[in-house]
Amino acid sequence: MPIPPKPIPARDRLIFAMDVADPDAARRLADTLGDSVTFYKLGLELFMSGGYFELLDWMVGRGKQVFVDLKFFDVPATVGSAVRQLRNRGVTLTTVHGNQAMMEAAAAAKGDVKVLAVTVLTSLDRGDLDDLGFSCDVEKLVLSRARRALEAGCDGVVSSGLEAPMLRQFIDHRLLVVTPGIRPVENRPVDDQKRTVDVAQAFANGADYIVVGRPIRDAADPRAAAEAIQQTIAGVFGGRTA
């Protein structure tokens, strides 16, 4: 029997990766996108440009959900302290990219923030994992990290849509699955994403959220591109909010 989708409003299932040079550019793009996007991912590029938390507060003040994607990796005490700084700020999701102790520290400190463990970056393929010294298959590595994340108290994982069906088969269905590397049409090797799926396939495979960046940001009309994805999502979920 299929597992029913989580009660997430359909329009919130699209997370836009706000990968732009600075907060001013981010505010302009958010204004352009308007109500076509309700959920934003703020990553390292914006963090390093200055004004990150002011932008975060601005987003939250406009009723947007925010995914702080900084992939915390440090000694466990530092990871825990970093995650603790995000509490009570309106942050919905954040990421940790480390071992069991780091994930446990993040989970213990999360408060009202949901912690996602990164499994295998969607920019990596089998050859890249060989270079990094991982001898197991991508699927086995993702499954292992997802199991350990759940054991550590994390709320979910960041995982390619290619591995999502396996996660739904072998991991507790409560696990949130956030899928980046989405390409709304057939992907061509023009960027650094290698393990990709399209919008409908990501949700069919078991994703709860998708993260889309360049296909919206670089479109001639970003708002129209976001709305087209929202229409696809609405079709997948039949107009339902869950």
- Determine the pLDDT at residue 239: 60
Does 23 or 136 have the greater pLDDT score?
23
Q: If you average pLDDT over residues 97-105, what whole number do you get?
A: 93
What is the rounded CA–CA span in Å between residue 208 and residue 222? 23
What is the rounded CA–CA span in Å between residue 60 and residue 67? 11
Instruction: Domain ranges for the chain, please list them.
Output: 10-235
The yes-or-no verdict on residue 93 having pLDDT over 50 is yes
pLDDT tens column, 151-174: 999 999 998 888 888 888 888 788
- Determine the pLDDT at residue 121: 52
pLDDT tens column, 179-219: 998 877 544 444 444 446 899 999 999 999 999 999 999 99
Which CATH superfamily groups domain 10-235?
Aldolase class I (3.20.20.70)
Active site residue 71: yes
Averaged confidence pLDDT in the chain: 87
Residue 12: band (very low, low, confident or very high) from pLDDT cuts 50, 70, 90: very high
- Determine the pLDDT at residue 6: 87
Q: If you average pLDDT over residues 80-91, what whole number do you get?
A: 98
Residue 136: band (very low, low, confident or very high) from pLDDT cuts 50, 70, 90: low
DSSP state of 6: P
What is the rounded CA–CA span in Å between residue 45 and residue 131? 25
- Determine the pLDDT at residue 240: 52
The yes-or-no verdict on residue 83 having pLDDT over 50 is yes
- Determine the pLDDT at residue 195: 45
Q: If you average pLDDT over residues 233-239, what whole number do you get?
A: 87
What is the model's pTM? 0.88
Q: If you average pLDDT over residues 22-45, what whole number do you get?
A: 98
What is the rounded CA–CA span in Å between residue 47 and residue 233? 29
- Determine the pLDDT at residue 242: 43
DSSP state of 2: P
What is the rounded CA–CA span in Å between residue 194 and residue 45? 21
Q: Provide the total of helices (H) and of strands (E) in the chain, helices listed first.
A: 11, 8
The yes-or-no verdict on residue 40 having pLDDT over 70 is yes
Q: Which of 41, 71, 110, 140 is catalytic?
A: 71
118 and 141 in contact (C-beta within 8 Å)?
A: no
